[in-house]
Structure 1
Amino acid sequence: MTAAMQRTRVKFCGLTREQDVDAAVALGADAIGFVLWAGSKRAVDVDQLARLAARVPAFIARVGLFVDAAPEEVSRALPWLDLLQFHGDESAAECERYDRAYIKALRMRDGLDVHAAARCYDSARGLLLDAYRPGVPGGTGDTFDWSRIPPGLGKAVILAGGLSDDNVSQAIRQVRPHAVDVSGGIESAAAIKDAGRMRAFVNAVALGDRVANQTSV
């Protein structure tokens, strides 16, 4: 029996401009992320979110990224989001309180028990695994040692951290994640996405899938 062909989903994160949202849609992104944490150079407020999210058609997930946000902050953004992404120290109960599908980001610091975290956030739709830098909840542009990702997590793995068209094919072949998440790797400047780099990233993901699927047949 021939093995099923796997397609890695693509999430473009940290979009702040209408033309970048339009480019992501045209390139077939599966998800578009909006940063709703004021500490980020890619942050948008709720008014910007509403304007940008309105450009996203059906069947592309609109993802809101939060870092230890007050419940009212999350609630104000909910009308324009399909999926919540928590990057702080939120407990599973705090992630669940909005009755909305969510993913939990784990920063791969030394000693992190990823299996224990997967059990803790059993209600999450996936675990986003990102590089660890003290005091920085995400968007570092750093990679981490992908061999540290344990098998058999029982959760969809979204791979993040320093991905670009230069390394995402190798990441897919090594990790076989459900999805990849990129922000800085598709930018020409801080918070400014580059359509050419976005296209190159999508092409590199497709190449990674082709090679990975050939080796698994």
Structure 2
Amino acid sequence: MRVQAKICGLTTFETLDTAVRHGASHVGFVFFPPSPRNLGFDQARALATRAPAHVQKIGVFVDPDDAMLDAALAAGLDAVQLHKVTPDRAAAIRRRVPVWVALAVKTAADLRAAAGFQAAADRILYDAKTPEGAALPGGMGLRFDWTLLQGHRPPLPWALSGGLDPDNVAEAIRVTGAPQVDVSSGVESAPGVKDVAKIAAFLQAVARC
């Protein structure tokens, strides 16, 4: 089965078009003001409208309130990716839209939290845990020990994130068996600035797996 790939934190038509052209299955739009990848709702709507129907549009949030969700969903999202959310809140949001839950991982013990979302989410995103007090919950180029996922039985469909780039994604897939990978800072030339050459290289590396 072909490994799927999500390019997250897109902000321009050029980078969106590059992701689509090189085979991204999903594209991510960030709705979190502290992030350098944050989008306004009108920007997100324009990007989502440009993306073809076969590419899933995922909105990325940090424990959003209902008003933010309402505005973002109107932009044409297919699913939402939630960071720092409880199972109860994820389940409530899932009644409106498919839900991915980002699980911050540093040790094997962190993986156990995935079980709590079995009835509350559609997909688990295993991401690297950021340092205590960090402004962002992800997109910082950090990775966790991929061997932690060896022998782990995910309770839901899942994806791997955290510190991936064109040079290491093939190894990450080999070590973890990930059916889907997610990249943001690993295809940037500066925080929030996607690099079309890196996007293409990343997706080409995934396609070869």
Judge conservation of contact 1:156–1:177 (CA < 8 Å) in 2: no
Q: Does 1:132 align with 2:129?
A: yes
Equivalent position to 1:82, from 72, 78, 83: 78
Alignment partner of 2:109: what SS? coil
Judge conservation of contact 2:187–2:195 (CA < 8 Å) in 1: yes
Number of the residue aligned with 1:97:
92
Q: 1:173 to 1:111 in 2, by over 3 A?
A: closer
Alignment partner of 1:107: what SS? strand
Alignment of 1:147-162 (within 5 A): 147-149=147-149, 150-162=151-163
Structure 2: how far apart are the matches of 1:188 and 1:138? 17
Number of the residue aligned with 1:212:
none
Deviation digits for residues 77-98 of structure 1 (CA, Å, limit 9, x no counterpart): 112100100012x122212323
Structure 1 counterpart of 2:71, which letter? R
Number of the residue aligned with 2:61:
66
Alignment of 1:1-217 (within 5 A): 6-79=1-74, 80-88=76-84, 90-98=85-93, 99-110=96-107, 112-115=109-112, 117-122=113-118, 123-133=120-130, 134-135=132-133, 136-149=136-149, 150-207=151-208, 209=209
Deviation digits for residues 116-168 of structure 1 (CA, Å, limit 9, x no counterpart): x2221113221111111223311110111011125222322211111011100
Deviates more, 1:19-28 or 1:7-16: 19-28
Decide which structure has the larger Cα Rg and report it.
1
Structure 2: how far apart are the matches of 1:119 and 1:164? 28
Structure 2 counterpart of 1:81, which letter? L
TM-score, with structure 2 as normaliser: 0.91
TM-score, with structure 1 as normaliser: 0.87
Judge conservation of contact 2:159–2:181 (CA < 8 Å) in 1: yes
Structure 2: which 5+ residue stretches go unaligned?
none
The percent identity for this pair of structures is: 37
Structure 1: which 5+ residue stretches go unaligned?
1-5, 210-217
Displacement after TM superposition at 1:40 (Å): 0.4
Displacement after TM superposition at 1:195 (Å): 1.5
Structure 2: how far apart are the matches of 1:154 and 1:69? 24
Alignment partner of 1:54: what SS? helix
Judge conservation of contact 2:106–2:145 (CA < 8 Å) in 1: no
Structure 2 counterpart of 1:82, which letter? D
Structure 2: how far apart are the matches of 1:13 and 1:182? 6
Number of equivalences: 201
Structure 1 counterpart of 2:78, which letter? D
Structure 2: how far apart are the matches of 1:107 and 1:42? 20
Structure 2: how far apart are the matches of 1:112 and 1:33? 28
Structure 2: how far apart are the matches of 1:7 and 1:67? 29
Q: 1:194 to 1:158 in 2, by over 3 A?
A: same
Structure 1: how far apart are the matches of 2:30 and 2:59? 6
Deviation digits for residues 42-94 of structure 1 (CA, Å, limit 9, x no counterpart): 10011111111111111110000000211110111112100100012x12221
Judge conservation of contact 2:59–2:77 (CA < 8 Å) in 1: yes
Structure 2: how far apart are the matches of 1:94 and 1:15? 26
Displacement after TM superposition at 1:206 (Å): 2.1
